[in-house]
């Protein structure tokens, strides 16, 4: 009897150990071949560039896109300068012989097709359309880079900072905000900027007008809407073009005097990352100014 019990306990213990072993194996299998951390990563997209630089040791990165070194588009521009900067051309990337290529869904489709045909591992991520998608993008990239725990830590940091940056009473009063970019386009529903405006306690004029993604907004319509907050994305010293000169239109200058103006460069709100909190902070400040302005001036 006693021997029998002992045997049973032994079997059970072995079973537990086997089950645990199977779990570890399953995890390894689920994580796939990327569980081994890639050591020669090439990134073709500004979002994956920034994530790779934030999540991975520099010696494991072979190349990032040229936009990553432009502070207008990238929050890690100073760190990006040490890497080879690519322009998404297959020839340059093949020479680097990467063990992982990170790309956006819409970046350099010809290059991605060619790399896949030649057997290179390519992970494509869609541009984040809201905050949840931004988190998902970080998870996807972190998994591909073999550093899922760092990805989770980054997400937790973003969520903490976003929660701190969100203004109080943002659900009670939402002033109307309009983002006006060069060429007279504005981000509507389905753009990360729309989600960031919402997080900052603002209402996006473009979404109210039923616009989706990046859509043209006639200057006349913008003036008539007379938004309480006016958001610009471009720098003052942008090289001249008709698209850029539209932002110097006298009608817009008059509108600027009536509204609270915020400048949020693409670096702060076109990709998922802790920088989103800085975008929210800037917008929340403009919101506070708009709410403080006496109604009579509007």
> Taking Cα atoms as reference points, which of 68, 70, 28, 291 lies closest to residue 176?
291
Closest approach, Cβ 30 to another protein, in A, equals 42
Q: Which is nearer to another protein, 158 or 206 (CB)?
A: 206
Q: Would you say 44 or 162 has its CB closer to another protein? A: 44
**Shorter beta-carbon distance to another protein: residue 96 or 221:** 221
Nearer to another protein, 92 or 221 (CB): 221
Please give the Cα distance from 267 to 282 (Å, whole number): 13
Does the protein bind another protein through residue 296 (CB under 8 A)?
no
How many whole angstroms separate alpha carbon 202 and alpha carbon 287? Answer: 7
Edge to edge, what strands does the sheet with 122-125 contain? 84-86, 61-65, 41-43, 100-104, 122-125
Distance, CA of 218 to CA of 221 (rounded, Å): 5
The answer to whether the CB of 143 falls within 8 A of the CB of 34 is yes
C-alpha torsion 193→199→201→207, nearest 10: 40
Give 240's DSSP letter: P
From the CB of 230, what's the least distance to another protein, in Å?
13
- Nearest residue (CB) to another protein, 98 versus 187: 187
Shortest distance (Å) from residue 184 CB to another protein: 7
How many chain residues touch another protein (CB under 8 A)?
26
Token pair in block for residue 193? 């900027």
Task: Name the maximum alpha-carbon separation found in the chain.
Answer: 96
Cα–Cα distance measured from residue 116 to residue 114, given in angstroms and rounded to the nearest whole number = 5
Q: Closer to another protein at the Cβ: 66 or 285?
A: 66
Q: How far apart are CA 49 and CA 41, in angstroms?
A: 10
Residue closer to another protein (CB basis): 248 or 292:
248
Q: By CB under 8 A, is residue 261 in contact with another protein? A: no
116 to 155: interface string for another protein, x by CB under 8 A: ----------------------------------------
Q: Minimum distance between the CB of residue 58 and another protein, rounded to whole angstroms?
A: 28
Which pairing describes strands 100-104 and 41-43: parallel, antiparallel, or unpaired? Answer: parallel
Position 215 contacts another protein (CB under 8 A): yes
62 close to 41: Cβ distance less than 8 angstroms? yes
Give 7 or 238: the residue with its C-beta nearer to another protein. Answer: 238
What is the x/- site pattern for another protein, positions 183-202, by CB under 8 A? xx------------------
Residues 217-236 close enough to bind another protein by CB under 8 A: 218-221, 223-224, 226
How far, in Å, CA of 28 to CA of 179, rounded?
45
Site string for another protein, 236-255 (x = CB under 8 A): --xxxxxxxxx--xxx--xx
Cβ of residue 296: shortest distance to another protein, in angstroms? 13
7 is a site residue for another protein (CB under 8 A): no
Phi first, then psi: give them for residue 45, nearest 5 degrees.
Answer: -130, 140
Q: Which stretch binds another protein (CB under 8 A): 107-115, 177-185, 199-207, 262-270?
A: 177-185
Cα(176)–Cα(263) distance, integer angstroms: 16
Contact footprint for another protein (CB under 8 A): 182-184, 215-216, 218-221, 223-224, 226, 238-246, 249-251, 254-255
């Amino acid at each position: 009897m006693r021997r029998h019990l002992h045997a049973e306990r032994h079997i059970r213990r072995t079973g537990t150990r086997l089950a645990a072993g199977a779990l570890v194996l399953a995890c390894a299998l689920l994580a796939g071949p990327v569980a081994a951390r890639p050591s020669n990563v090439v990134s073709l997209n500004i979002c994956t560039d920034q994530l790779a630089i934030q999540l991975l040791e520099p010696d494991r990165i072979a190349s990032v896109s040229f936009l990553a070194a432009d502070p207008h588009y990238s929050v890690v521009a100073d760190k990006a300068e040490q890497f080879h900067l690519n322009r998404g051309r297959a020839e340059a990337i093949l020479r680097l012989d990467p063990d992982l290529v990170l790309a956006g869904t819409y970046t350099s489709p010809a290059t991605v097709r060619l790399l896949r045909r030649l057997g290179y591992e390519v992970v494509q991520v869609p541009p984040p359309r809201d905050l949840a998608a931004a988190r998902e993008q970080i998870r996807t990239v972190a998994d591909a880079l073999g550093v899922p725990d760092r990805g989770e830590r980054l997400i937790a940091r973003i969520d903490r900072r976003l929660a701190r940056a969100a203004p109080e009473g943002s659900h009670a009063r939402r002033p109307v905000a309009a983002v006006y970019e060069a060429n007279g386009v504005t981000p509507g529903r389905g753009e990360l900027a729309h989600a960031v405006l919402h997080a900052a306690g603002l209402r996006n004029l473009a979404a109210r007008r039923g616009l989706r993604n990046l859509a043209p907004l006639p200057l006349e319509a913008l003036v008539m809407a007379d938004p309480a907050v006016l958001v610009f994305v471009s720098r003052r010293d942008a090289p001249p073009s008709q698209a850029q000169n539209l932002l110097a239109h006298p009608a817009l200058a008059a509108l600027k005097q009536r509204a609270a103006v915020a400048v949020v460069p693409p670096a702060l709100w076109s990709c998922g990352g802790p920088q989103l909190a800085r975008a929210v902070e800037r917008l929340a400040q403009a919101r506070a100014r708009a709410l403080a302005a006496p109604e009579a001036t509007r």
